Amino acid sequence: MIFLAAFPTVASLLDYAGRVTFPLAQDGRVIRAVPGSRRFATVPTADEFRAAIAKIDPRVLFPLADEPDDDPLLGPLLAICKPCLHVPGEMALLPPSLRFNRNGKRVFAATKWMNGVTGFVLAPSEFRPGLAVWGFSESGLRNHEEYATPMEWLIEFIAGLEHAQPGDPEELWHMIEGDLPNAEPPLSLEPPIIDGTWTHATEGVVDRQEEYQRGKRHGSLTWWHVLEELPADTDISEGDFEFTYRQGPIIREGRFEAGAAHGPFRFFTERGKPSYEADFVRGFPSGECIVHPEATLGICEPATIRYEAGVPIAWTVPEYAYSSVRLDRDGKPPASLLEIAHDEPVVLVNCFEAREHPCKDEVDVAVVGVAAEPGRGKLGDKAIEIVGDRDGKLTRAYGHANEKLLPVTLVKANGAFAGAGQLAHALRNVRKRLYS
């Protein structure tokens, strides 16, 4: 049995801006796999799973209530790994008596709350017939995204735990259990759509249109982002106003055959910019796929991934913008951030609208302002160089929604994005964040 240690365990799935799709790394640079990808060409048998679990310290996968599980969907999935607390991942596999429902889905794994339930649910796959494990978060901490087949999810749940050190499971479980809402009975599945065009609406606006044949997706699929807006003449100070809703950019389009994604697919951001271009074969990405900068952080040129039967077998990630983008300088030849910061971490300050920024914090790492034209600026009492990024490549690589730099952006020495935000918040513990 082989567990691929290169892929993350449950403990790391809350990282990287809440994205769930698993990462692919090349020389320290990271991109995200195409939605609907699979991690493993083959998976272990149930007996191999049980043998692997037997090697793990029981305090690492701390057992919870061992109850009969007659849930037709979750029972078989969790029969291999009984309800337990994944101590390193701070994640609980819930017993039947503690499961509950959110937004029409059954929550079977939960972590400590962060503004609402965060965990995993089991729901129909978006790309092929059958069920998939989805990341779930009421707070938006994690995207509501199809994560893996159930067996692949279990592989990662126990990956790398043979030598893990237990923490304090009783205290952790007390925290998670105290956050759980009241238990609820299982949901009944909606009856299948038999034939024709199916649409779904949010706030009265169509956001999904899919073709079905004999109860399975067959034909075109188009999804839209729904825009929430306030009328132009709204006085928000009165506190009594209503949003309007309209259909926004396409966020996904593709084709299905007999229930499985089959043919060209394109994925877009909520602002309508392309994020992935891929061909699917019988439910899985296949051949060479394009990953646009809008699907990741740090790059300003597209990356590629090559797939076989849904498994990424090779990928090429361009250099991070930190080392690849030539920036205009005032009175000096163009240079990259790597050269300007002398191969060290750097704090980027948005100087497109103002070139001087009040700041009480002492920043003892390289600070560079970014604007359309080069020049000089200030961060508090510190004089800073402003580089010219006329083509907006740093913004595309590190900006919020790849469209606008936040007031402060932190970039590590290897070019990886390390965080962004408002001045006062983003500069707290700046060295720890840049050098960790």
Greatest mean pLDDT range, 6-10, 113-117, 231-235, 272-276:
272-276
The predicted model gives 291-317 an average pLDDT of: 95
Query: Cβ–Cβ contacts within 10 Å for residue 428, how many?
Result: 10
The predicted model gives 368-386 an average pLDDT of: 95
Confidence at residue 137, expressed as pLDDT on a 0 to 100 scale: 82
Whether residue 142 has pLDDT greater than 80 = no
Degrees, nearest 5: CA angle 337-340-344: 75
Shared-domain flag, residues 104 and 159: yes
Q: Residue 295 falls within a domain, yes or no?
A: yes
Shared-domain flag, residues 330 and 293: no
CB 329 within 8 A of CB 387: yes
Domain closes at, from 275, 294, 316 = 316
Query: Cβ–Cβ contacts within 10 Å for residue 399, how many?
Result: 20
More confident site: 284 or 150 = 284
The predicted model gives 189-208 an average pLDDT of: 85
Confidence of residue 46 (pLDDT cuts 50, 70, 90): confident
Domain closes at, from 179, 205, 233 = 179
pTM: 0.85
Judged by DSSP in three states, 77 sits in helix
| DSSP code, position 363 | -
Shared-domain flag, residues 252 and 142: no
Shared-domain flag, residues 39 and 154: yes
CB 205 within 8 A of CB 246: yes
Q: Residue 188 falls within a domain, yes or no?
A: no
Shared-domain flag, residues 220 and 343: no
Whether residue 113 has pLDDT greater than 60 = yes
pLDDT above 90: percentage of residues in the chain? 54
Tokens 């692997």 label which residue?
52
Domain closes at, from 289, 316, 343 = 316
Q: Residue 230 falls within a domain, yes or no?
A: yes
Helical axes 46-54 vs 150-158, angle rounded to 10°: 20
Shared-domain flag, residues 24 and 159: yes
Confidence at residue 114, expressed as pLDDT on a 0 to 100 scale: 62
CATH number at residue 385: 3.40.30.10
CB 141 within 8 A of CB 118: yes
Shared-domain flag, residues 62 and 130: yes
- The string of pLDDT tens digits covering residues 71-82 is 887 888 788 888
Shared-domain flag, residues 325 and 312: no
To the nearest whole number, what is the mean pLDDT of the chain?
87
Confidence at residue 93, expressed as pLDDT on a 0 to 100 scale: 93
DSSP per-residue codes, 391-406: T-HHHHHHSBTTTB--
Domain count, the chain: 3
Confidence of residue 7 (pLDDT cuts 50, 70, 90): very low
Confidence at residue 425, expressed as pLDDT on a 0 to 100 scale: 80
What's the rounded Cα separation, in Å, for the pair 126 and 97? Answer: 28
Torsion angles phi and psi, residue 30, rounded to 5: -125, 135
- The string of pLDDT tens digits covering residues 147-166 is 778 888 888 888 888 888 87
* Residues 35-73 as b or e (16 or more Cβ within 10 Å = b): bbbbbbeebbeeeebeebbeebeebbbbebeeeebebeb
Cα–Cα distance list, 407 to 59, 328, 392, 424 (Å): 44, 20, 15, 10
The predicted model gives 172-180 an average pLDDT of: 88
Shared-domain flag, residues 164 and 239: no
Confidence at residue 105, expressed as pLDDT on a 0 to 100 scale: 84
Q: Residue 203 falls within a domain, yes or no?
A: no
Shared-domain flag, residues 349 and 306: no
Q: Residue 197 falls within a domain, yes or no?
A: no
Confidence of residue 338 (pLDDT cuts 50, 70, 90): very high
Confidence at residue 192, expressed as pLDDT on a 0 to 100 scale: 65
The predicted model gives 260-280 an average pLDDT of: 96
Q: Residue 71 falls within a domain, yes or no?
A: yes
Q: Residue 2 falls within a domain, yes or no?
A: no
Confidence at residue 14, expressed as pLDDT on a 0 to 100 scale: 34
CB 236 within 8 A of CB 223: no
Confidence at residue 1, expressed as pLDDT on a 0 to 100 scale: 29
Confidence at residue 115, expressed as pLDDT on a 0 to 100 scale: 64
Shared-domain flag, residues 40 and 158: yes
pLDDT above 70: percentage of residues in the chain? 92
Confidence at residue 205, expressed as pLDDT on a 0 to 100 scale: 95
Q: Residue 204 falls within a domain, yes or no?
A: no
**Domain range enclosing 16:** 10-179
Shared-domain flag, residues 246 and 272: yes
